[in-house]
Amino acid sequence: MTNCDDTPPQDETQPPRHFRYFDFVMAAFVTILLLSNVIGAGKVSEVEVPFYGLTPFGAGVLFFPVSYVIGDILTEVYGYAKARRVIWTGFAALLFMALMAWVVVALPPAADWGNQDAYERVFGQVPRIVGASIIAFWAGEFVNSYVLAKMKIWTKGKALWSRTIGSTVFGQGVDSALFYPLAFLGAAGWTTDLVITVALTQWAIKVAWEALLTPVTYAVVGWLKKREGVEVFDTDTNFSPFAKSA
């Protein structure tokens, strides 16, 4: 792990360095992750694609990929070890959200409260889909962070676009390959061909979003690196998702 040329190497005997903006980036990551699952997950929308027609898509796909962009920023600026901490934080937040939704929906409504059906439609979650979402997120985010960290070493810190998009290709590929079969394969109305088609479509949309947001990623990464005074290369990092330290 190395720092910018204008920043002295951190003394291993000193307390870990405090980053001014790390907590804000982590909060943004977890917020987008939870909101994209709560607000966007249950709605199917349609968009008119030229020369193709109306195409249905899950509304959450518009914002969920932003969590991958922030994941890229975390790994690029702060390194894999810091990103690992954030991924586990998001994982725990998803678990708690699922538990809270289940408990609140299951609580008996007051006799004069007539919104239980609407509440269940919005917040009632199918356990199979929730489980698939959490597993896919965990695996996809770790793959995304691992690939980006490794590619940064291979590219010697150059061509940021290649590793943000490349890591998303693999990370979102794993996410989609796990989520859709785990959530829908064998379910009523879901043929194997449909599961594969939707998984590939969502994967392509997410990768396209990452590519479109590349200028934003460049701007944020450059801003954070300059103000944090750090350039991290994970040359000696323990890449196990379960490691307690770098």
Residue 239 lies in a domain: no
Per-residue pLDDT averaged across 131-141, rounded?
Answer: 93
Alpha carbons 185 and 137: distance in angstroms, whole number: 18
Alpha carbons 246 and 239: distance in angstroms, whole number: 8
Residue 5 lies in a domain: no
pLDDT tens digits along 89-109: 999 999 998 899 889 889 999
Residue 147 lies in a domain: yes
Domain count, the chain: 1
DSSP 8-state assignment for residue 21? S
What pLDDT is recorded for position 15? 45
Return the top range by mean pLDDT from 162-166, 190-194, 203-207. 162-166
pLDDT tens digits along 28-45: 999 988 887 777 655 667
DSSP 8-state assignment for residue 235? S
Is 60 a residue whose pLDDT tops 80?
no
State the average pLDDT for the chain.
86
What pLDDT is recorded for position 16? 57
Residue 236 lies in a domain: no
Residue 8 lies in a domain: no
What pLDDT is recorded for position 43? 67
Is 246 a residue whose pLDDT tops 60?
no
pLDDT tens digits along 224-235: 999 999 999 999
| Contact indicator for 191, 181 with CB cutoff of 8 Å | no
SS3 of 57, please? Answer: strand
What pLDDT is recorded for position 41? 59
Residue 200 lies in a domain: yes
Per the structure, the complete domain to which residue 215 belongs is given by 22-109+116-228
Instruction: State phi, psi for 53 to the nearest 5 degrees.
Output: 115, -170
DSSP 8-state assignment for residue 47? E
Residue with the two structure tokens 């599961």: 195
CATH number of the CATH domain containing 181: 1.10.1760
Helices H / strands E in the chain, number of each = 8, 2
DSSP 8-state assignment for residue 11? P
Q: What are the CA-CA distances from residue 228 to residues 77, 84, 157, 159, 220 (Å)?
A: 9, 19, 17, 21, 12
Q: Decide which of 129 and 25 is more confident.
A: 25
Query: How many C-beta neighbours within 10 Å does residue 41 have?
Result: 17
Which of these, 67, 68, 83, 92, lies nearest to 22 by C-alpha position? 83
Return the top range by mean pLDDT from 11-15, 41-45, 118-122. 118-122
Residue 17 lies in a domain: no
Query: How many C-beta neighbours within 10 Å does residue 222 have?
Result: 12
Is 11 a residue whose pLDDT tops 60?
no
Residue 76 lies in a domain: yes
What pLDDT is recorded for position 42? 59
- Residue 12: pLDDT band (50, 70, 90) is very low
